[in-house]
Structure 1
Amino acid sequence: MERLEKQPSLRRLDYHYIAMQAGFWAMFAAIVAYQTALLLERGFTNSQAGLMTAVRCLAGIVCQPLLGGFADRHPDLPLKRIVTLSLVLSVAAGAWYWLSPGMGLWETTLVWVVIGGLEVSSYPLMDAMAVQFINEGKPIRYSLGRGVGSLAYAVVCVLLGFQAGRLGMESTLVTHLTLVVVEILLVATYPAFRGNARRLGEEGAKPQSALSLLRSNPQFTLMLAGVFLGLTGIMPLSNFLVNIVTSRGGSEADLGVALFLMGAFELPTAFFFQPLLRRLGSGKLLLLSMVFGTLKGVLLLLTTSCLGVLLVQPIQVLGYGLFTPASVYFVNESVPQADRVRGQTVMMVASNGLGGMMGGVLAGWTLDLGGANLMLAACIISGCAGAALCLAALRLGRHSRRAS
């Protein structure tokens, strides 16, 4: 039986994972942050752009549980191989997208199915690559890696804003392809986990199906429902930020600055996340992220200028900046060890998957119906409902602990 001492040093695991996080969020920014702007430039309507956002998220909803379930059923197959193959296939789709600027709705839909289903959906497996080592006593600084990833997202966003203004929006696709290739190299060279937790034939609980996991853990299920509604209201604030910026008199360069500030203010979360986690717990941090994410929508609705949009972005530090690390720790604490890979994928499905899909549909419909202000009002309503369900989940958890 292989033992954990064969694993590489903590320093290598730590810094390599931080680089991998930075690479993922850089390539994510290059394709997702400018998805709506690129589609609008190619002649699509707001509703069609919203539909493509929904398609991307729906593909993730389908693929993430499949990839997570496959990983749980094949514990001897390193996660990095699954992620690497997913990214290679996404590169092929991205190259076709770049080489065919005049492609129609159906071809564009297929491209976003592949990107959403394989490229974006690889993230929970990357999370699991770190969590495997964390669970075996390797204190990888996940929150710092996520913070550096946010900084990489911010830097790429602002650079691409200037690049789009100088070379055109289509040029962002070349940058995206380059960054995906870099990320493939980072993932492929990350050390494979060989600890006892992923050995077949061990005694212990077997992985559950996603449905069984939800039925057996009502607090987790209720929290997922809250996250879904919360992210439905929060995701359009970034995915359709171009509409908010232009409605306040801004330009493509202003969009790049707004995206930079949004990502940059997620970085400080990395430095105070662990003290907050010890003091409040992951569940309360999830609730806090829903509250501040919704408050961001309220403040954006009150703005009347592009400068106001920029001044609102620092609230991201307690909004989406808290959400990702808090959600990872919440899953790790709330589900059995055998289901943690699947649990991470289910969380991603509920948040960036279902939440992003419904947020895209909601944003596209409300933008065409009444503009940016109507979209923001709808986002606020959804965010408030999500925060209420997250609060109910925390109370359910307290009642369950008292009863036991």
Structure 2
Amino acid sequence: MHGNEDKMTTRFSVIEFFFWMLLGDVIGFASIFLLECGFNNAQIGMIVALACGISVVLQPIVASYADMPQSLSLKTIILILTGLQIVISPFLFVLYQKTFWIAGILYCILIVGIHTLNPLVNALGTECINQGKRLNFGVARGIGSGGYAILSYILGIVLARSEARIQPLTICLISIGLAVSVMCFPFEKRKGVEAAEERRNAGGDGNELQICNTPWEFFSCYKKFGIALIGCMLLYTSHMMVSGFGFQVVVSKGGGSEETGIVMAIAALAELPVLFVFTYMLKIVRCDIWVRISGIAFMVKALLTFCATSMTFYYFVQILQLLGWGLFAVASVYYVNEVIGKRDAIKGQAYMTATYSLGCIIGAAIGGKLIDSKGVDTMLLWAVAASLAGMVILLFAGGNTRKESGSSEGI
């Protein structure tokens, strides 16, 4: 039994490794590439905001389709979106510093693709768990953070010594690795009859048998989950301001491209302990409490980032990633899988990720304009305010999973 678990976890870990390398490349180094293309901070913010806006609409649509018994399998959908990254990224290499807005549009599509992939990759793991296969999602997610750290450190050094035009080539190569790892993953979509039988077994009453096909139906069924998403959106807004404009923040502390890579690498490595042991942490404390703790850490990290006056201090601030983004990244996936009915599982993951995209829209649009008009410190002050509001909502807005999971209602 443990051998099967190790095998599934290892294969899914490879997918997470390449996915988070790809996300770190596309999102983490977007500012460096687009600045070199000639965009200013406000324009970069608008490109990211537009991409996230499209993602907010696209994620639930793709997830609703993936939840249908007659749809293509998750593997196939992931491969299609990964193929989009492989096809588009070489054009950015060719068009570097040549066609201004075409490069911006193509990069926007890359961001849309990676945001749309996120809930599908999460769902690939949770669907295996729901099918009774033994898979340690926390360990796999930890391997993903390791890949993010390796990519961030190496690419930061490389970009400090060469042109940013090589970045799209790294996106292409990593995407190929992701596609191969997904193709090798042993996932089978449940047949329509099996899915229907599972819905009947999962339903305790007539309401449970109802399928939430529209956002209105979904949030009518999961009201408290919708409130929690508002708090998550504010945390994501703060996270986008601090991390999405990470290069600008590092420059304000006296660093550059290489230091940006080091910051990203430290933050990703700090996530590893909690990701590897989270399944054991769940045996000690309820999942919704871990989500609340991560909200507190988000706020403290934003505050200390605002207060940091040197790169040395800012490096130490990244340790808070352990209880901030690192804890939230895995706790939120388990949390959604616990409080959302199996019939809506992929949609639940998609709405959580869509909330991230919505937070990115707000953070990118406001952050870029604030940096150009008021400076980085003012932008960071807004990030502190957003994280404080998000933390308060998560602390006081909901119940607990142990009491409410039976009714598919959460925090």
Q: Same fold (TM over 0.5)?
A: yes
1:140–1:397 Cα change, 3 Å:
closer
8 A Cα contact 2:26 2:111, kept in partner: no
Q: 2:376 aligns with which of 367, 372, 379?
A: 372
- In the TM superposition, residue 241 of structure 1 has moved relative to its aligned partner by 1.1
Give runs of aligned pairs for residues 2-401 of structure 1, distance below 5 A: 9-75=4-70, 77-102=72-97, 104=99, 106-195=101-190, 199-202=194-197, 204=200, 205=209, 207-208=211-212, 209-351=214-356, 353-395=357-399
1:369–1:76 Cα change, 3 Å:
closer
8 A Cα contact 1:23 1:149, kept in partner: yes
8 A Cα contact 1:287 1:387, kept in partner: yes
The 3-state SS of whatever aligns with 1:24 is helix
Unaligned runs of 5+ in 2: 201-208
1:332-363 Cα offsets, whole Å, 9 max, x none, are 11111100101100010012x10111111121
- In the TM superposition, residue 368 of structure 1 has moved relative to its aligned partner by 1.2
8 A Cα contact 1:331 1:344, kept in partner: yes
Cα distance in 2 between the residues matched to 1:201 and 1:139: 23
The 3-state SS of whatever aligns with 1:235 is helix
- In the TM superposition, residue 151 of structure 1 has moved relative to its aligned partner by 1.1
8 A Cα contact 2:115 2:353, kept in partner: no
- In the TM superposition, residue 365 of structure 1 has moved relative to its aligned partner by 1.6
The 3-state SS of whatever aligns with 1:125 is helix
- In the TM superposition, residue 375 of structure 1 has moved relative to its aligned partner by 0.9
Name 2:203's counterpart in structure 1.
none
The amino acid across from 1:372 in the alignment is: V
* Residue-pair matches, total: 396
1:310–1:156 Cα change, 3 Å:
same
1:366-385 Cα offsets, whole Å, 9 max, x none, are 11122111111000101111
The 3-state SS of whatever aligns with 1:394 is coil
1:57-112 Cα offsets, whole Å, 9 max, x none, are 22221221111011012456321000001111222222222211135554234323
1:110-132 Cα offsets, whole Å, 9 max, x none, are 32342233233112111111111
Cα distance in 1 between the residues matched to 2:242 and 2:192: 39
8 A Cα contact 2:138 2:277, kept in partner: no
The 3-state SS of whatever aligns with 1:280 is coil
8 A Cα contact 1:210 1:342, kept in partner: no
RMSD: 2.4
1:259–1:336 Cα change, 3 Å:
same
- In the TM superposition, residue 32 of structure 1 has moved relative to its aligned partner by 1.3
The amino acid across from 1:244 in the alignment is: V
- In the TM superposition, residue 394 of structure 1 has moved relative to its aligned partner by 2.5
- In the TM superposition, residue 10 of structure 1 has moved relative to its aligned partner by 3.2
8 A Cα contact 2:149 2:265, kept in partner: yes
8 A Cα contact 1:294 1:383, kept in partner: yes
- In the TM superposition, residue 172 of structure 1 has moved relative to its aligned partner by 1.7
1:256–1:362 Cα change, 3 Å:
same
Cα distance in 1 between the residues matched to 2:196 and 2:305: 54
1:89–1:67 Cα change, 3 Å:
same
The amino acid across from 2:365 in the alignment is: V
The 3-state SS of whatever aligns with 1:199 is helix
8 A Cα contact 1:163 1:172, kept in partner: no
Cα distance in 1 between the residues matched to 2:100 and 2:299: 32
8 A Cα contact 2:308 2:314, kept in partner: yes
Unaligned runs of 5+ in 1: none
Cα distance in 2 between the residues matched to 1:361 and 1:345: 22
- In the TM superposition, residue 223 of structure 1 has moved relative to its aligned partner by 0.5
8 A Cα contact 1:129 1:193, kept in partner: no
